[in-house]
Amino acid sequence: MALMKMFACLGILATAVAQAEVESEIPWGIEAVTGYRSKMVHRGFSLADDVNDYQLETEIAISNDWSFNFTALYATGSGKGNDYSESSALAEFRYDAASWSAGWMAGFRDFTATFFRDGWESGPFLTYRFNEDLDLRAEYLYDQGGESMYGAVRLSWSHSLSEKSFVSVVGGVSHVEDYYGSEGLHSIDLRASYTYLLLSHVSLTPFIGSVAALDNRADDAMLGGVWFEVTF
């Protein structure tokens, strides 16, 4: 519980500090995000409604080709009759080539009031960039909480509408091996969003999304929400 409260405080504090830094010419490379979503859907399973989340993310360039990315997340909402919450810490070590990237990701997730179990996850990922607007990412992870492998392929597209706004669409399909009772092709997901820059380092992103089950364990769901993002 102390860890979850710490993540919540960090998210709120980072957003407040970032607002004081929006006039800075050179960002520090940290992104603070606070948001709301009507439903939390994690890997094809609907876990909670009316979810508020707070995130901190930073990327560190190790060399021209190698980088390290770290994300901390705290989310809370109404679960299945209880108060749902999640605290996560995720890291990626990545190599970037001209048209592709590859690396290894690892992290730990702590859940409350859900059938999902706490545990670490780890595995490789590969991204191929068709152009500046379109890329394809594949990942294959071992989830200790689910005691199983989880794989996903996701296509991402974005398009600039003006100097201050752009749209993006992300869609993917997942495959699992005895993952909380699910086996084989698991779910398809799709999310569309619109981002508007309120200031040079401050943006607002409303989004809508859907999930379609491909087996009898996953959930069908529709959701919407908004993110408020600050870089500093």
Spell out the per-residue pLDDT of the chain, length 232, in tens.
Answer: 444 444 444 444 444 444 444 444 445 689 999 999 999 999 999 999 999 999 999 999 999 999 999 999 999 998 766 789 999 999 999 999 999 999 999 999 999 999 999 999 999 999 999 999 999 999 999 999 999 999 999 999 999 999 999 999 999 999 999 999 999 999 999 999 999 999 989 999 999 999 999 999 999 999 999 999 999 8
| Residue 149 and residue 140 in contact, taking contact as beta carbons nearer than 8 Å | yes
Cα–Cα distance measured from residue 156 to residue 139, given in angstroms and rounded to the nearest whole number: 14
pTM: 0.83
Residue 214: DSSP 8-state: S
Ranges of beta strands (E only) in the chain are 30-42, 45-61, 66-78, 83-96, 100-112, 119-129, 134-143, 148-162, 165-179, 182-199, 202-213, 221-231
| Residue 103 and residue 91 in contact, taking contact as beta carbons nearer than 8 Å | no
